[in-house]
Chains A and B, each alone.
Chain A
């Protein structure tokens, strides 16, 4: 709420307003003597001067604040530009990576398919002189099982 107040109410007041306020109050301080020459204003000379000093200081503070805000806004703009640039670079890097992955996947699939086709072609030669023992299949499957998965480890003892 407070940030909103400062940003939207104080923030929209331009620099020249604060400068005018500070200068007017400064001038008011120096011309207090002349103004208070009017008899009925005479008793208010000192309070008027104090008020001028306070307003002048406030105006000067806000002038400085406005300058700082302008610097911050510029830095925010630069940071936003850098972030946008980084997001673009990130997207490009992802697109490049995806393209590479698609190419590799295609090559891999083609390669495995070729090997499997060769196995099919060589079926008779492979099976001619080789019979796989059931123990070999069991051992192979045991090796393929993930031991970290719950309820899957049931390997028998190794016999010589």
Chain B
């Protein structure tokens, strides 16, 4: 019986998979930064003091938009590369 098991194991050895692993691709570190909260305007009646905050917030939006777009581009590129391996 033991010999039969051994013979079975020898025959099943051929069923092992190819020992090649694909490493999960790295993402640029600056893309891993979360979007900060929007800045709040100061308690003032002067529009000139409020506008820079609004401008900063608009700038922040475009930074986050670019980050989001980069993630989409990164994913599409990496998926294309990954699919090409198969």
**In the complex the two chains form, is A126's CB within 8 Å of B70's CB?**
no
Distance from B2 Cβ to chain A, minimum over Cβ atoms (Å): 13
Question: What residue in chain A is nearest B46 (Cβ atoms)?
Answer: A127
Return the chain A residue nearest B38 by Cβ: A144
> In the docked arrangement, what's the CA distance between A158 and B78, Å?
48
| Per-residue A-contact encoding for B4-34, CB less than 8 Å = 1, 0 else | 0000011001101011111101111011000
Contacts of A112 in B (CB 8 A): 55-56, 58-59
> How long is the Cα–Cα vector from A127 to B49 in the complex, in angstroms?
9
Q: Contacts of A94 on B, CB cut-off 8 Å?
A: 25-28, 74
Partner of B14, one of A65, A75, A132: A65
We find that the number of chain B residues with CB closer than 8 angstroms to chain A is: 50
Known: A86-B81, A97-B77. A137 touches B62 (CB 8 A): no
> Interface residues of A, CB < 8 Å — how many?
48
Question: Would you call A27 an interface residue if the criterion is a C-beta within 8 Å of the partner chain's C-beta atoms?
Answer: no
Instruction: Say yes or no for A8: interface residue by CB 8 A criterion.
Output: no
* CB of B70 to closest CB in A, whole Å: 6
Q: What residue in chain A is nearest B10 (Cβ atoms)? A: A6
Q: Which residues of B contact A20 (CB under 8 A)?
A: none
Distance of A125 from chain B, by nearest CB (Å)? 9
The stretch of A30-38, A41-49, A101-109 in contact with B is A101-109
Whether the pair A132, B45 counts as a contact (CB closer than 8 A) is yes
With A94-B25, A101-B28, A116-B52 in contact, is A89–B10 under 8 Å at CB?
no
**Chain A residues within an 8 Å CB radius of B73:** 97
Q: A86-B22, A127-B47, A145-B37 are in contact. List 19 more A-B contacts (CB 8 A).
A: A79-B20, A80-B20, A83-B22, A89-B81, A97-B74, A98-B28, A101-B28, A105-B63, A105-B66, A112-B55, A119-B51, A122-B48, A127-B46, A137-B44, A144-B38, A144-B39, A144-B41, A145-B40, A146-B38
